[in-house]
Amino acid sequence: MFEGLCAAEELLTRFGGHPMAAGLSLPEENLEALRKQLNLQAALEEDDLIRKQWIDAPMPISYVTARLIGELESLAPFGQGFERPLFAQKGLKVSDLRVLGRNRNVLKMRLTEESGITLDGICFGEADTMWEELKDAGTADILYSPKLNEYGGRRTIQIEIKEYIIHA
């Protein structure tokens, strides 16, 4: 981002940034010229426009224990460049969907492995939309991070779902 702004600095009043963000000021009449110049400089390939997710390992939810979560948490702090570990499991049965939160931004569900092992899953975002997508799902493949949920004095294991693919 910063390199792109450097190449267009004659259009800008001020600018600055780092690899993950940039800020700028410019006269309004230069906005269209900046847009065109940045688009011309963008060296994007078709593959660059495809969203990618990286997982640390495929792992059945039955492997998730309080001890494992504690070991993962000992790796913290997580953030840009050192993301929280992400795991994947295919073919989980989805049931007991509930929309939670004052802003209806949390979807809670029950996930069941073929072996019968179950675990609560939680997903953040547009919960009503996710509910519509998942309510009739037979199974789903998920990308998740294991978490300990502390609520009402109880600690339970749950997984935070980052992405899912539905199978009818």
**What are the pLDDT tens digits along the chain (168 aa)?**
777 888 889 999 999 887 677 889 999 999 999 999 988 888 778 887 788 888 999 999 999 999 999 999 999 999 888 999 999 999 999 999 999 999 999 999 999 999 999 999 999 999 999 999 999 988 999 999 999 999 899 999 999 999 999 986
Domain boundaries, the chain: 2-48, 57-167
The alpha carbon of residue 25 and the mean position of all alpha carbons in its chain are separated, in whole angstroms, by: 31
Which CATH entry fits the domain spanning 57-167: 2.40.50.140, 1.25.60.10, 3.40.50.2300, 3.30.300.30?
2.40.50.140
Q: Distance between CA atoms of 41 and 26, rounded to whole angstroms?
A: 18
